[in-house]
């Protein structure tokens, strides 16, 4: 049955849509490449059926939560699909968390079942006395005192049944970036993921049966969950998974070995790839496309990437609140410096502080509407009311839209600066700094000068062969003044070895302000 994103059936289960339809058609086709292992669609479906049986055997009931704390391994896929197939509500976070973070997620989700790696399982043991909701911990790896995920799957009889889930049932939590405090859980419905896959994943990325995905962001994030698991599987393609840190040194052998066609990345990772010591020896010819999101893609970086690889980058914007990308550039339709135009099925507008739509070209807050919008933030009623307003999701981002319908990111609302009575976008200044040959990374924040007035301050990491100095700082200020209005030039330049970043690759401007 062909699915219409605008008329999805009431009976809907993500495991059936994204995995089992293809497994029935091509059980022997590769679904996942991991180290020396090739997991076929049939094998992944069998593991998912076994995970379903394990969850039910542990007492998991409809709408109860399952928390994954796993790296990008095949067990992530079977544990994720098994949870939604059993009717549970699944969320995922990266492993490598601190004890207070593990404790937060266990109590915040009230997950009855947790699937974790060995290291995280040991941290769970440290905090478990303060986490009364956890009943069972399944460990991928060698458990010391918990159930082995793989052993439990091998022990049970596969359960091929699907929970009787509705398209509007809650099924997944996706976490916000947590720029202030711990991340919030955006509560999503079954149909949210299918809607975006059928409006963005397949028609824009163009995933097909011959595609192989490779991702820098981890599957715990909605961006990678869609681009490097759900979308390729829906199309009958495959994905490459790896559990190590996604450095260029790790990515390059994977590109050589598996010849991926779609690279899911963030600008920071693309920059690291281009600056890697042996990048000139890497054959990127298998790639037909790179996807970028998570932060603004500088025009200078786009041009360097295209020159070195010949591969198109489709920059776009998505969010945990909307699951995935809703504004994007397209193949043959890339406007440099913009995030592109709306994905079919979505609406967006740039509004003032009172919610009135602004004329094209003016900077305001981005409002977006589409059928992948979350219901709420879990246990955040006031914040939910401020963000989710009827059909609209009110973002924290400042945008402008040109007369041709292309959207341009100007910065987060709390990043925008008012300098000399005029709005200043840090992104614009950062892009200007990146045009200088000495600059590898740049971030701009505001500071109060001696008169208590807000002025821009730049933090810069340098390319090899360049040394920090007062003279270079003045040269960078002059460089910005050459391309932008004088009031936009940074009044101070601070040199760092590297910019502080979150596990999603975003610059932590709160750390710079501190």
Written as one string, the DSSP assignment of 37-63 is EEEEHHHHHHHHHHHHHHHHHTT--TT
In eight-state DSSP terms, residue 158 is P
Exposure of 251 in the CB half-sphere (CA atoms within 13 A): 27
How far apart CA 292 and CA 266 sit, in angstroms, is 5
Distances (CA, A) of 514 to 28, 445, 451, 511: 54, 11, 20, 5
CB 14 within 8 A of CB 84: yes
The pLDDT tens digits of the residues spanning 380-436 come to 999 999 999 999 999 988 899 999 999 998 877 767 786 766 667 888 898 889 989
Determine contact, residues 62/28, Cβ cutoff 8 Å: no
Which superfamily is assigned to 416-513 in CATH?
Answer: ANL, C-terminal domain (3.30.300.30)
Give helix 470-483 / helix 426-434 axis angle, nearest 10°. 110
Segment among 45-49, 252-256, 271-275, 318-322 with least mean pLDDT: 271-275
pLDDT digits (tens, 9 = 90+) for 4-54: 999 999 999 999 999 999 999 999 999 999 999 999 999 999 999 999 999
* Beta pairing partners, 172: 90, 188
User: Which pLDDT belongs to residue 29?
Assistant: 98
Q: Which residue has the tokens 């094998």?
A: 43
Which segments of the chain belong to CATH 3.40.50.12780? 12-32+39-165, 190-347+374-390
211-226 mean pLDDT: 97
Q: Do residues 172 and 107 touch, judged by C-beta distance below 8 A? A: no
Q: Residue 249 is encoded by which pair of tokens? A: 């040194």
Cα separation, 246 vs 489, in Å, equals 34
User: How far from chain centre, in Å, is Cα 212?
Assistant: 18
Task: Specify the fold of 190-347+374-390.
Answer: Rossmann fold (3.40.50)
Q: How far apart are CA 396 and CA 413, in angstroms?
A: 5
How do beta strands 439-448 and 327-328 pair?
Answer: unpaired
Thinking of the domain 12-32+39-165, which architecture would CATH place it in?
A: 3-Layer(aba) Sandwich (3.40)
Angle, CA of 328, 93 and 321, to the nearest 5° = 40
Q: 265-279, pLDDT tens digit by residue?
A: 998 899 889 989 889
The per-residue pLDDT for 189 is 98
Residue length of the chain: 514
296: confidence class by pLDDT, cuts 50, 70, 90: confident
The C-alpha R_g of the chain, in whole angstroms, comes to 23
DSSP state of 103: H
457: which residues sit within 8 A by CB, 6+ positions away? 444, 445, 446, 447, 490, 491, 492, 493, 494
- In this prediction, what percent of the chain has a pLDDT beyond 90? 81
Enumerate residues 6+ apart whose C-beta is below 8 A from 477. Answer: 489, 490, 491, 493
> Which of the pair, 511 or 462, is modelled with greater confidence?
462
Q: What percent of the chain has pLDDT over 70?
A: 97
């Amino acid at each position: 049955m062909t699915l219409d994103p605008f008329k999805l059936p009431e009976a809907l289960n993500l495991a059936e849509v994204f995995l089992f339809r293809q497994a029935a058609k091509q059980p022997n086709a590769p679904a996942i490449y991991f180290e020396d292992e090739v997991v076929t669609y049939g094998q992944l479906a069998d593991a998912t059926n076994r995970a379903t049986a394990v969850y039910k055997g542990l007492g998991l009931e409809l709408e109860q939560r399952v928390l994954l704390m796993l790296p990008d391994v095949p067990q992530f896929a079977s544990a994720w699909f098994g949870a939604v197939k059993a009717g549970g509500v699944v969320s995922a976070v990266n492993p490598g968390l601190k004890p207070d973070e593990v404790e937060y997620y266990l109590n915040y989700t009230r997950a009855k079942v947790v699937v974790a790696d060995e290291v995280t399982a040991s941290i769970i043991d440290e905090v478990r006395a303060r986490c009364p909701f956890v009943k069972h911990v399944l460990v991928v790896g060698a458990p010391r005192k918990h159930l082995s995920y793989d052993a439990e799957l091998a022990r049970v009889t596969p359960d091929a049944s699907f929970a009787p889930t509705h398209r509007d049932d809650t099924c997944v939590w996706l976490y916000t970036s947590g720029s202030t405090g711990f991340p919030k859980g955006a509560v999503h419905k079954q149909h949210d993921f299918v809607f975006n896959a059928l409006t963005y994943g397949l028609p824009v990325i163009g995933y097909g049966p011959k595609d192989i995905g490779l991702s820098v962001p981890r599957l715990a994030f909605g961006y990678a969950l869609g681009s490097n698991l759900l979308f390729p599987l829906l199309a009958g393609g495959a994905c490459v998974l790896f559990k190590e840190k996604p450095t260029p040194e790790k990515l390059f052998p994977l590109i050589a070995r598996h010849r991926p066609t779609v690279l899911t990345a963030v600008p920071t990772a693309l920059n690291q790839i281009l600056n890697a010591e042996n990048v000139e020896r890497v054959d990127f010819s298998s790639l037909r496309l790179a996807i970028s999101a998570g932060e603004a893609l500088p025009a200078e970086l786009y041009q360097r990437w295209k020159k070195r690889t010949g591969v198109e980058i489709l920059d776009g914007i998505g969010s945990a609140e909307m699951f995935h990308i809703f504004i994007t550039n397209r193949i043959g339709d890339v406007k440099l410096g913009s995030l592109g135009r709306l994905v079919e099925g979505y609406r967006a507008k740039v509004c003032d502080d009172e919610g009135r739509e602004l004329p094209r070209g003016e900077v305001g807050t981005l409002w977006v509407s589409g059928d992948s919008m979350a219901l709420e933030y879990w246990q955040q009623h006031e914040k939910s009311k401020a963000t989710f307003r009827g059909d609209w999701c009110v973002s924290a981002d400042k945008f402008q839209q040109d007369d041709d319908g292309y959207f341009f990111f100007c910065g987060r609302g709390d990043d925008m600066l008012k300098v000399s009575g005029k709005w200043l976008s840090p992104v614009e200044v950062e892009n200007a700094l990146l045009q200088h040959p000495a600059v590898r990374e740049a971030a701009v924040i505001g500071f109060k000068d001696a008169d208590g007035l807000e002025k821009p301050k730049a933090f810069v990491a340098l390319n090899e062969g360049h040394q920090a100095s007062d003279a270079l700082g003045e040269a960078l200020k002059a460089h910005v003044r050459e391309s932008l209005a004088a009031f936009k030039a940074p009044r101070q330049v601070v040199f760092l070895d590297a910019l502080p970043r979150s596990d999603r690759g975003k610059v932590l401007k709160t750390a710079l302000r501190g």
